[in-house]
Amino acid sequence: MVNLKINGQAVSVPEGYTVLEAAREVGIDIPTLCYLKDYSETGSCRMCVVEIVGARALQAACVYPVAEGIEVLTHSPKVKAARKSTLELLLSNHDRKCLTCIRNKHCELQTLSEELGVDDIRYEGEIIKREIDDLSPSIVRDNNKCVLCRRCVNVCKNIQTVGAIDATERGFKTQIACAFNKSLADSNCVNCGQCIAACPVGALKEKDNTAAVFEEIANPDKYVIVQTAPAVRAALGEEFGFEMGTPVTGKMAAALRRLGFDKVFDTDTGADITIMEEGTEFIERLNNGGKLPLITSCSPGWIKFCEHNFPDFLDNLSSCKSPHQMFGAVIKSYYAEKHNIDPKKICVVSVMPCVAKKFESSREEMEFNKLRDVDIVISTRELARMIKQAGIKFEKLPDEKFDAPFEEASGAGVIFGATGGVMEAALRTVADVLEGKSIDQIDYHAVRGTEGIKEATLNIAGKDVRIAVAHGLGNARKLLESIRSGEKNYEFIEIMACPGGCVTGGGQPICSAKEYMDHDVKAERAKALYTEDANSPVRKSHENPDIKLLYSEYFEKPGSHKAHELLHTTYVKRKRF
């Protein structure tokens, strides 16, 4: 422990703490902007400066380590004046159209202005008009609102190891851009949206498709079906004042009906279909000398990352489409035929925690008989905006169920939204099939949790199956490079592009830097999914009655010719940058 004084108060904190962390121990919030716990810790914005008694200059609290006997002043006149001047200079050339900004009331710059008492702009800087980059199907960049905190850069480069963006030019002309000032659409961006989640202001946002959804709902000639990913229910409530980690499945279904969708389905059903196909694929490869390790294909950000950086692993990828794409194909084939609906009149809307799904749905491969599997993708944030625009009082809604015939998915489908969830769901089915009996022990704790890379060896039907789970593309890179070098060997791997999996996807509700300091966002949202799984009457995909009926009536069996036509896909080698 290290002993110090903060504003005259004696404090004892663990060695290795920063002054920022130490101050929070005694209930003092030091303002930050470039700081984002575990993602961006550079001390570059100078909003968090404090006075160290005896030191010549003010120090950045987010990176200044505690030391025995130091005295810290967090709000001396000198400190307050420095912070306010820094903020006023940031605002001097900022695009201050706050009322029309996507981050209005959820902007860290706006919050700082209120907290530091900035009621006027003393400086007027030269305004450089930046071109808005909206060519990507997933992400819109507006450098007119950028404050050069570099949180997006640090996440993209250091956490995701993509490096699609960085600071370019110098001095007043500095901006965040792609190489050669290209659009994100022409870069190695994987559309994961972690840059959006990291941005403290409105410089980055998802491509908004809400107007297109409202238009489809209003069209009397369209039969509009919505499906919601498992992670959406774990976070949507945060947009309406619910505590983080509160599942709002029933209210979400009710809200979607009131928005006017013709049918409200659960993408967890698509996850159950994915397990049927992917589990069968794994068993065939394991028993028949196929390409191993098999790597899951549910995360489109990971798929594009693999296509750019690890083309030698494309044959290891499961050929399965992701759950929402599979389910879209099923809706426009099996469901359309069963209910005598012209599939050309069906519009499938996917509500996803992931903005990479917007890119995925536009991929050339994601169609059958010239019909797109999914027509429109919106994020959790976009759904929240639609609910608010429609004047629906979310918190007052009753709990309602999804529509038949896909009313109840399995608990295995629910946990797809957390890192390790796809692996656990697959193991529940694979173990039963290989053992030839129903296994009672179905909670695979070895693949749960937020550790970056998890490994385990399981004995299934007398065979040792080596598995690994990675979340965040930096961890995925480490894992694949260890396989490339021969250091590691596995039979089955799950990879999710976003740290924590879908629960912290790029389309989920934005958490401020303070919220990241107060909460383990990944763990709290995942808890909602595991709770719902534990309470599910059916916890294995192959035991879902709706899935049994689907295969008996339509696909015949997992891996059949029809299943491959509708539910499987191919991949492409992409340019390396």
Number of domains in the chain: 3
Regarding whether 343 and 300 lie in a shared domain, the answer is yes
347 in catalytic set:
no
Q: Out of 277, 281, 307, 424, which one is annotated catalytic?
A: 281
How many angstroms separate the CA atoms of 454 and 501, rounded?
A: 13
424 assigned to active site: no
Residue 158: predicted pLDDT: 97
Residue 245 contacts residue 504 (beta carbons within 8 Å): no
281 is catalytic: yes
Quick check: is 263 catalytic? no
Based on the domain organization, do 364 and 308 belong to the same domain? yes
| Cβ 90 vs Cβ 203: under 8 Å | no
- Exactly one of 45, 146, 298, 498 is catalytic; name it: 298
Residues 324 and 378 in one domain: yes
**Torsion sign (Cα): 354, 359, 362, 367:** negative
Do 242 and 379 have their domain in common? yes
Joined tokens for residue 338: 């069963």
pTM, rounded to two decimals = 0.96
CATH number at residue 182: 3.30.70.20
Asked whether residue 369 is assigned to any structural domain, the reply reads yes
Out of 41, 284, 365, 524, pick the active-site residue.
365
| 337 and 432 both lie in a single domain | yes
Task: State whether 87 and 191 are in the same domain.
Answer: no
Q: What integer pLDDT is reported at residue 576 of this predicted model?
A: 80
| Local confidence pLDDT in tens for the 577 residues of the chain | 999 999 999 999 999 999 999 999 999 999 999 999 999 999 999 999 999 999 999 999 999 999 999 999 999 999 999 999 999 999 998 999 999 999 999 999 999 999 999 988 888 878 889 999 999 999 999 999 999 999 999 999 999 999 999 999 998 899 999 999 999 999 999 999 999 999 999 999 999 999 999 999 999 999 999 999 999 999 999 999 999 999 999 999 999 999 999 999 999 999 999 999 999 999 999 999 999 999 999 999 999 999 999 999 999 999 999 999 999 999 999 999 999 999 999 999 999 999 999 999 999 999 999 999 999 999 999 999 999 999 999 999 999 999 999 988 999 999 999 999 999 999 999 999 999 999 998 999 999 999 999 999 999 999 999 999 999 999 999 999 999 999 999 999 999 999 999 999 999 999 999 999 999 999 999 999 999 999 999 999 999 999 999 999 999 999 999 999 999 999 999 988 7
Who's near 73: CB < 8 A, 6+ residues apart?
Answer: 7, 50, 51, 52, 53, 79
* Catalytic, out of 108, 360, 382, 494: 360
Report if residue 577 sits inside a domain: no
Considering the domain boundaries, does residue 252 fall inside one? yes
The pLDDT of residue 126:
82
- Of the residues 318, 322, 350, 361, only one is catalytic, namely 318
> Amino acid identity of 491?
E
- Take residue 251 and report the two structure tokens written for it: 């209210």
CA-CA-CA-CA torsion for 344, 272, 452, 317, nearest 10 degrees?
A: -60
Please give the structure tokens belonging to residue 133. 């980059």
Question: What Å distances lie between residue 361 and 278, 464, 505, CA to CA?
Answer: 20, 37, 16
- Let me know whether 446 and 534 are in one domain: yes
Tell me: do 436 and 289 sit in the same domain.
yes
Give the CATH number for residue 558: 3.40.50.1780
Q: Which residue's structure tokens are 């937020």?
A: 450
Could you tell me the CATH number of the domain that includes residue 19? 3.10.20.740
Distance CA 158, CA 340 (A): 51
Same domain, yes or no: 82 and 145: no
Catalytic status, residue 278: yes
Q: Spell out a b/e string for 175-201, using b for 16 or more CB atoms within 10 Å of the CB, else e.
A: bbbbeeeeebbebbbbbbbbbbbbbbb
User: Which residue among 91, 114, 142 closes a domain?
Assistant: 91
Cβ–Cβ under 8 Å, residues 147 and 200: yes
Same domain, 154 and 215: no
CA distance 264 to 380: 15
Pairing, β 49-52 against β 59-60: antiparallel
Q: Are 349 and 226 in contact (CB under 8 A)?
A: yes
- Residues, the chain: 577
Domain that holds residue 171: 128-204
502 is catalytic: yes
φ, ψ of residue 468 in degrees (nearest 5)? -145, 150
Q: What is the pLDDT of residue 120?
A: 87
Which is catalytic among the residues 51, 278, 382, 424? 278
Catalytic residue among 45, 149, 306, 502: 502
Q: Are residues 419 and 552 in the same domain?
A: yes
Q: Are residues 159 and 245 in the same domain?
A: no
Catalytic residue among 251, 263, 304, 357: 357
- Tokens coding 218: 């209003």
